[in-house]
Structure 1
Amino acid sequence: MSLLKVLDVAGSGMSAQSVRLNTTASNLANANSVSSNIDETYKARHPVFAAELNRAMGGLDSSVGVKVQGIVESTAELNQEYSPNHPKADENGFIYHSNVNVMEEMANMISASRSYQTNVQIADAAKQMLSSTLQLGKG
């Protein structure tokens, strides 16, 4: 695999982790939201990643990148609370809290941040190797 392909793979990893960080930030921002309707209540979202084999059937190129296939909503149950005096309470006195698990989201944020950082280091190492290769040609 050429070093330029390494940069492509690291770039796709950084892009995927950026989506993951944005999704996590959205989940954390809406963690304390409430609603009077189950359908309107914010549900945690998570990106779905897949390995993408770039032109693998074409011969020499067998680099694998990351593709974001989509973002799915969590199927975990919403938190229902009886609070008849709440301004958002439904006709039965219930409000619905988001199903965002703050601890899980914080762990996702740290993991995505570290993965992004690792991809940056890989890209930097490839850049240094390319620079060293160019220096060999000068001598």
Structure 2
Amino acid sequence: MSTSPSIDADRSARDEHRVGQHTVVIQGDLAFVDFIGDESPEEAREIGDLLVGYLVARPRFYVICDVRRIGNVPSETRKTWIRWFKTHSPNAIVLIGAGIGIHTLVKLIIAATRVLTGKEPRFVLVGSEDEARAWVERHRQQNKA
């Protein structure tokens, strides 16, 4: 199965959004979210809403999250993301630099989503942006075959 020319051409288009201190860059079938500092529930909702606008318009959609500089992620923010994953399923979430707190959050999201929807979101943990982008590219190529 190959991608449509509009999706491939769309990769050169770039939309950048600021949400608090965080940055969301959308380029084709890929969102790159750079989390800087604490993440409030309102910021999580805004980022989630941004992603949905692109996710629903594409047959494939990947999200890379750089969490190396993320601060506090309060309980209500974690609940916001769990609710988001109940109804939205990107092909994968690739996390750069996830520490023990983010690992715990990922496990919570996976378990809650599995219980609530029967689906299991795909999370990939890597150490660098290069590794994250390489993983996404390999996954794209596998889906073309």
**TM-score interval, normalised by the smaller of the two chains:** under 0.3
Q: Which has the higher contact order (CA 8 A, sep 6+)?
A: 1
Q: TM-score, normalised by structure 2?
A: 0.26
TM-score (normalised: structure 1): 0.26
Q: Which is greater in Rg?
A: 1
